[in-house]
Structure 1
Amino acid sequence: MILTPLKNFIISTCPEKLDKLSRFRHGWAWLLLTALTAGGAFRLWRHWAEPMISRDGVLYLRQAELWLTGGFQALQGSEAAWIPPLLPWSVSRGMLCGLSAYSSGILVNVLTGSLLIAAVFLLAGEFFRDKRLGALAALFCAFVPEFIQLSVEIQRESLYLLFMTLALWLAVCGFRRRNRFYWGGAGAGAFLAALARYEALELFLFIPLFLLGRLWLNAEERRETGWALLLFLLGGAVGGILLSVLLGIPLEYYTEAFTGRLRGLWG
């Protein structure tokens, strides 16, 4: 496998630490727990030490307030109707629980930024087939300054990165474990990521292209690959319908927003 030399190189750079860690049956779990606890606590401290809100953050909070008062339809006449709806909807749910718009927005970003640490563990652990490396990747993610900054500001990136990472993890699981149903989850995850940032729509281009290439090059796996492609697209479609009902978004919004974004990708 092409990944084996990469894994061996990573292990060779810190063999002593990994050898010590392997002596403990659940050493990777302790590393993951440390990453989640320290990463979440550091994000909360970072916000407490220097609270801030950007111009985009003010716009997102305004969208959440509109959603709370008039639902999705209230956003259509606003100055930022182009903003994908997942962040405004998420912030409005916190406001329903009695939080202010600002507190709800910070809570959403700190929570999703902390969950991203666990998602990185899942993706790296599956990619390298080694939970120790997954835990080290999670520990690294917990203290990357850029990730911390995104987690303490009201932005769409934490939601986008969380669901994008989960979608990629499910796709890797489907490929590695030869379980076609993971691909359906990958499609749903990609759709959720697209509701945070439209850039995630690229997954609906590149993953099918990858599967079509595999379908053409590997005759022995054609049936399994065909099912994977079908379930990935079906997962995205079913996820879109369910989210349309949950968020109260008409299906026409998806077709207009997504086709516009795809036209932009093609230039």
Structure 2
Amino acid sequence: MYPNPTSTSLSHLDYRWVFAASSLLSAWLIAIDPLINRDAIIYLRAADAYLQHGFAASQQEFGRPLLSICIALIHQWTGLPTLWAGQLITTLAYAVLCTGFVAVIHVLGGDRRIQLLGAIVVLSHPLLNHLRSSIMRDPIYWALLILAFRELLLYLRSPTLKYQFRWFSYIVLASLFRFEGLFFAALAPLAVLFTRNVDQRLRHCLHLLIPQLVAIGIAAAGIVLYRQGLGSDTNLFPAINQYLERLWAFPGQFAAMSQATGEAMLEFTALEDASIAVTAGLLAVLAINICRAITWPWVAVLVWGRLTGLLGRLRNDDVVLLRAHALIALLYLALFMLINRFMLERYSIQLVLFLLLYLPFLLGTLWNAGGWRKGLVILLLVGMSLDTVLTGDGDKRFIREATQWVEQNTDAQASIATNEKYIAYFSRRDFDWTAALGQEFKLQNLIAKSRHWRNKDYLVIYVRRRDEAPWAEFLANNHLTESRSFASNNPKKGRVAVVQVGEP
């Protein structure tokens, strides 16, 4: 059993090496990825709006423009293109995340070998690394969440103002980037009530909780005043408002969904259990997405650790905090799933990070057992690492090639219509963003009415396999011909077709 000494009695890895390894890994994955993620376009456009017209314009492009403002400021200070500035922020966030992850393992009682295993685990995780070439708020949020968790662990060991202030700062910053941080701000302090080795648990819980509630109240009042200054019709946070509207409408929508599911799947008295079937189905989808986010090999290791009792070999109060944070993340994910009826694997990362903290200790136990178990640890870590460094999205290179062709072979004043955000933004051609956002960048919506494309110079269309038939029909009906086609090496990814609408 691990002795779980205090964090000061164990030596730690040189965090600079973890930081450097993460930065180099990000540079490699950015280099081999031909495309930036679609959400990045949102942040880049909001950064452009900030540079041109200030905060209000940026906030209208995206309700929570903190990342976009950071991108714009780095562009102003360094002269880096906004794309590179965004990727630099993501790279730094990942480096802090990986370093913080190893630092948490040190606080939990991991020796240098356990810390090294932890560094390899977080640096080689496929889903985490799949997002390294993206521009998004999530890595910043994850990094701040891990740092906040570390400060809470240290607060349990030494309940001083220093650790309380650091935890407060990190969790507030995390909430500014993603609002689900408020779940941790409001609920994580309650975990102190369930610890064993902390005196005056209620007092310490309130010391952590009350400043958060005050900050949330002040922020809410500030938002209300700012909204009143802009006008009562202004929708500052459309995405959050949509979630809240779905939450209020959830009882009625759930009843209707249960009735429809019952009529489609069940008969006779089983119709009474339709709500149970719907709930079970949604939770099953959630569970599958969480397992995929963890990755199945690590799921197997965690299950093995649970069955053998090794998950409980950490300090009791640390386990309480770790489980509490995992449960808070799971609560948010379950609520999101029930309201929105879909789940993305990357949303589960905030839960996955807390579960991954168990892995280095389990792998350390396997390693110490020697024999084939040591070989299994090597096989798992090497397999994960190879999956990270060798897997890319090269089969999407055709989209970048089509974008470059448009930029290099069309007039700078030419107008285009497209259903692909990357082409719309990086081709640097005249493009109606308002209309495209209203069409949700869907091909069917774009070609449904001639006013959407007739007055454009070019159609630059991402044609997926399922869209080939309607696209061919559209061309025939309107007497149009493709002038260029850029296909993927993977037929499942589709192609980009270029059609000159105006006269050459």
TM-score by length of 1: 0.71
Alignment match, 1:163? 144
Which letter maps to 2:190? L
- Once the two structures are TM-superposed, the CA of residue 250 in structure 1 deviates from its matched residue by 8.8
Give me the whole-angstrom Cα distance separating, in 2, the residues matched to 1:130 and 1:73. 47
Identity within the alignment, %: 21
* Residues 1:190 and 1:116: Cα distance change in structure 2 (over 3 Å): same
Which letter maps to 2:47? A
Answering whether residue 177 of structure 2 is matched by residue 199 of structure 1, we say no
Give me the whole-angstrom Cα distance separating, in 1, the residues matched to 2:190 and 2:203. 16
SS at match of 2:79: coil
C-alpha offsets along residues 211-260 of structure 1, whole Å, 9 cap, x if unaligned?
4x459xx874443443233345567779x69xx9xxxx99746xx75985
Q: Which of 184, 203, 209 lines up with 1:229 in the alignment?
A: 209
- Structure 2 unaligned residues grouped into runs of 5+: 4-9, 228-235, 248-331, 340-504
SS at match of 2:160: coil
Give me the whole-angstrom Cα distance separating, in 2, the residues matched to 1:134 and 1:220. 32
Q: Which of 10, 16, 31 lines up with 1:48 in the alignment?
A: 31
- Once the two structures are TM-superposed, the CA of residue 43 in structure 1 deviates from its matched residue by 1.5
Alignment match, 1:29? 13
Alignment match, 1:66? 49
Q: Which moved more, 1:38-47 or 1:99-108?
A: 38-47
Tell me, yes or no, if the aligned pair for 1:186 and 1:232 is still in contact at 8 Å. Answer: no
1:236-251, aligned counterparts within 5 Å?
none
Tell me, yes or no, if the aligned pair for 2:44 and 2:82 is still in contact at 8 Å. Answer: yes
1:76-225, aligned counterparts within 5 Å?
76-78=59-61, 81-82=62-63, 84-96=64-76, 97-126=78-107, 128-132=108-112, 133-211=114-192, 213-214=193-194, 220-225=200-205
- Once the two structures are TM-superposed, the CA of residue 130 in structure 1 deviates from its matched residue by 3.1
Give me the whole-angstrom Cα distance separating, in 2, the residues matched to 1:165 and 1:220. 25
- Structure 1 unaligned residues grouped into runs of 5+: 9-24
- Once the two structures are TM-superposed, the CA of residue 134 in structure 1 deviates from its matched residue by 3.6
C-alpha offsets along residues 43-87 of structure 1, whole Å, 9 cap, x if unaligned?
101211223212211111101111222222112433xx33x2221
Q: Which moved more, 1:134-143 or 1:147-156?
A: 134-143
Give me the whole-angstrom Cα distance separating, in 2, the residues matched to 1:103 and 1:111. 12
SS at match of 1:29: coil
SS at match of 2:88: helix
Give me the whole-angstrom Cα distance separating, in 1, the residues matched to 2:123 and 2:22. 5
TM-score by length of 2: 0.40
- Once the two structures are TM-superposed, the CA of residue 203 in structure 1 deviates from its matched residue by 0.8
Tell me, yes or no, if the aligned pair for 1:124 and 1:134 is still in contact at 8 Å. Answer: yes
Alignment match, 1:20? none
Give me the whole-angstrom Cα distance separating, in 2, the residues matched to 1:181 and 1:234. 19
SS at match of 2:177: coil
* Residues 1:250 and 1:104: Cα distance change in structure 2 (over 3 Å): farther
Give me the whole-angstrom Cα distance separating, in 1, the residues matched to 2:139 and 2:124. 14
Which letter maps to 2:13? A
* Residues 1:102 and 1:259: Cα distance change in structure 2 (over 3 Å): closer
Give me the whole-angstrom Cα distance separating, in 1, the residues matched to 2:158 and 2:110. 14
Which letter maps to 2:84? S
* RMSD across aligned positions (CA): 3.5
SS at match of 1:154: coil
- Once the two structures are TM-superposed, the CA of residue 104 in structure 1 deviates from its matched residue by 0.8
Give me the whole-angstrom Cα distance separating, in 1, the residues matched to 2:131 and 2:24. 15
* Residues 1:156 and 1:225: Cα distance change in structure 2 (over 3 Å): closer
Which letter maps to 1:29? L
Q: How many residues align?
A: 230
Alignment match, 2:313? none
Tell me, yes or no, if the aligned pair for 1:120 and 1:138 is still in contact at 8 Å. Answer: yes
C-alpha offsets along residues 108-142 of structure 1, whole Å, 9 cap, x if unaligned?
1111111211111222222x133523443233212
* Residues 1:231 and 1:95: Cα distance change in structure 2 (over 3 Å): same
Bigger radius of gyration among the two: 2
* Residues 1:223 and 1:123: Cα distance change in structure 2 (over 3 Å): same
C-alpha offsets along residues 25-47 of structure 1, whole Å, 9 cap, x if unaligned?
96x425x4443322221210121
Tell me, yes or no, if the aligned pair for 2:102 and 2:119 is still in contact at 8 Å. Answer: yes
- Once the two structures are TM-superposed, the CA of residue 146 in structure 1 deviates from its matched residue by 1.9
Which letter maps to 2:81? S
- Once the two structures are TM-superposed, the CA of residue 184 in structure 1 deviates from its matched residue by 2.5
- Select the structure that is richer in strand: 2
* Residues 1:175 and 1:75: Cα distance change in structure 2 (over 3 Å): same
Give me the whole-angstrom Cα distance separating, in 2, the residues matched to 1:145 and 1:115. 18
Tell me, yes or no, if the aligned pair for 1:187 and 1:233 is still in contact at 8 Å. Answer: no
Alignment match, 2:422? none
Give me the whole-angstrom Cα distance separating, in 2, the residues matched to 1:221 and 1:65. 48
C-alpha offsets along residues 159-213 of structure 1, whole Å, 9 cap, x if unaligned?
11111111111112112222244123212211211222222121123124334x4
- Once the two structures are TM-superposed, the CA of residue 98 in structure 1 deviates from its matched residue by 0.7
